[in-house]
Amino acid sequence: MPDAQSSETIAYELPIERGAIRTFRGAMQSSNPAYEGVEAIIPPTFLITAWRWAPEGGRAAHGIPRSLLLHGEQEFIYHQAPPRAGQVLTAKEHIHDRYEKVGKRGGVMQFVVISTEFSDEEGVLVAEMRSTFIGREPKIGREPKGDAS
């Protein structure tokens, strides 16, 4: 398995837009007033939308073919107060960890943990998002379909 630090990515901006917060609030079916208005804060899981802003080269390559990819876990860690509408965060991804486990039904599963760090305009770390992806082995006699991202 490749070294955990082998995937270098470029940083990108994540503008915290009031309309995006409102849309996310609606999708969550939340009535929390903190997610409305000029000074709206982001809901705790809002940072997942950063992936939509990532430019070419902004996403860490996990190396698992999409047809074998499972999303295992999602974690959000806040080091500061939640970002507010109008802020612009800088996001940077890296491979946090790689490991393997033998599955309960046999076969080896690959685990890749990708960490995205979010910093404010002054470069202060505001939050981290950790995504765990699982690569399962293909069924015998079948080749994986799709690209490895």
Structural domain includes residue 50? yes
Judge whether 125 lies within some domain: yes
Q: Which domain holds residue 98?
A: 12-16+45-135
Whether 4 is in a domain gets the answer no
Q: Which CATH number goes with the domain that contains 114?
A: 3.10.129.10
**At 89, phi and psi to the nearest 5?**
-95, 155
Determine, yes or no, domain membership for 22.
Answer: no
Q: What's the chain's Rg over C-alpha atoms?
A: 17
Domain presence at residue 103: yes
The pTM assigned to this predicted structure is 0.83
Calculate the alpha carbon distances from 13 to 10, 29, 106, 134 in Å. 10, 27, 42, 27
CB 138 within 8 A of CB 118: no
Residue 120 in this model has a pLDDT that exceeds 90:
yes
Residue 36 within any structural domain of the chain: no
Domain count, the chain: 1
pLDDT for 65-80, tens place per residue? 888 899 999 999 999 9
* Assigned token pair, 145: 């379909």
**Secondary structure of residue 16 in the 3-state scheme:** coil
Strand ordering across the sheet containing 69-78: 12-15, 88-102, 108-119, 125-135, 69-78
Report the pLDDT value the prediction gives residue 133, as an integer from 0 to 100. 95
Q: What are 18-67's pLDDT values in tens digits?
A: 999 999 999 999 999 999 999 999 999 999 999 888 888 888 888 898 88
